[in-house]
Structure 1
């Protein structure tokens, strides 16, 4: 009986001794450092991670580079000629080459038993006699128009003296035209109901 009690006491003491050893070991581990390393043990070095922020900011992204248009090359040509500006458009205000009331007097003929003036139709070079430098330009073929014996006719130089219109008779006009054929003097005319000229007015041309 005494032997059994001694055996139990021995086992209890051994267990208490083991617990004491475990407590000492746990306390030593805590005092060695918070990271669990033993005192004096070398601290493992952590490799530095390269920062990509600075390099990313320094280099523009591919999308940003693509959005910017490429600069156009500029070439300076030595001695290059400047393009010639286009010529100014014509200022004539008429569209038809023939004026309905103008004629160029050429000759006279009594064929058919009536008085006929051989004429050419035409127009002013820049659409109006008031335009500086305008000239009367006959166009087309020669034709003839009958003129009435009683037609009202006015003339200026060179048919009569002076630039002011003066009335003349048909015979005075015929005499001058016969003596000066193909003068091409411009006249404004009007046709009567019978198709013959009943009004004929010379337009003075300055020298």
Structure 2
């Protein structure tokens, strides 16, 4: 092949390459135009494959006009219950203190506790202790509280004496003689039975009556 033939062949090759390039360019333009027509590509700047799901319920509620309003059940659940506000069971009222016995009565002027007797000096004398009535004992009687030391008081020969149990049977006072009294005191010393008494102008017991009291 001569030089002229080679030149013609090269010119033909260039034309075919240009024609192929033109066909490729036209195909690209046609494809781009088709994609824009069927809407498969989103708006400008949109990324293909982006999520188009509807907004969530949380986003919808937050976007509602005026903001979200707590439901009645939610509001009620926030209210303190009686159990939460109570500080505990009501305290029982404090017990009322029992009244105290703090009397300061003076020594009884006409009552004595009789323990024994003595015939010394030729005169019957009762060995006694003075005192007064103390505070009541729960479930019992009121005690006769003695004070000081034992002393003696002479008894007149004609003294009127009355007694009851335990010297006599029964709770009714009955007259007894001085001898009956001393006999009982001799067999039952230091019992401390309480008697009320009166003395005459000589300081001797002229009346002696046992009181209903058991030490």
Residue 206 and residue 173 in structure 1: after superposition, are their counterparts in 2 closer, same or farther (change >3 A)? closer
What is the deviation of 1:140?
Answer: 1.1
3-state SS of 2:157 partner: strand
What is the deviation of 1:96?
Answer: 3.0
Q: Measure the CA separation in 1 of the matches of 2:114 and 2:203.
A: 17
What is the deviation of 1:98?
Answer: 1.3
Unaligned runs of 5+ in 2: 1-86
Unaligned runs of 5+ in 1: 1-76
Structure 1 match to 2:151: 143
Q: Measure the CA separation in 2 of the matches of 1:110 and 1:124.
A: 29
Deviating beyond 6 angstroms after TM superposition, the runs of 4 or more aligned structure 1 residues are none
Q: Measure the CA separation in 1 of the matches of 2:190 and 2:161.
A: 19
Structure 2 match to 1:159: 167
CA displacement 1:64-94 (0-9 Å, x = unmatched):
xxxxxxxxxxxxx99xx99x888555346x5
1:204 aligns with 2:212: yes
Structure 1 match to 2:121: 112
Q: Measure the CA separation in 1 of the matches of 2:159 and 2:169.
A: 21
The structure having more radius of gyration, on CA atoms, is 2
Structure 2 match to 1:90: 100
Contact 2:126 2:153 in 1 (8 A): yes
What is the deviation of 1:124?
Answer: 1.1
What is the TM-score with the length of structure 1 in the denominator? 0.53
Residue 90 and residue 97 in structure 1: after superposition, are their counterparts in 2 closer, same or farther (change >3 A)? farther
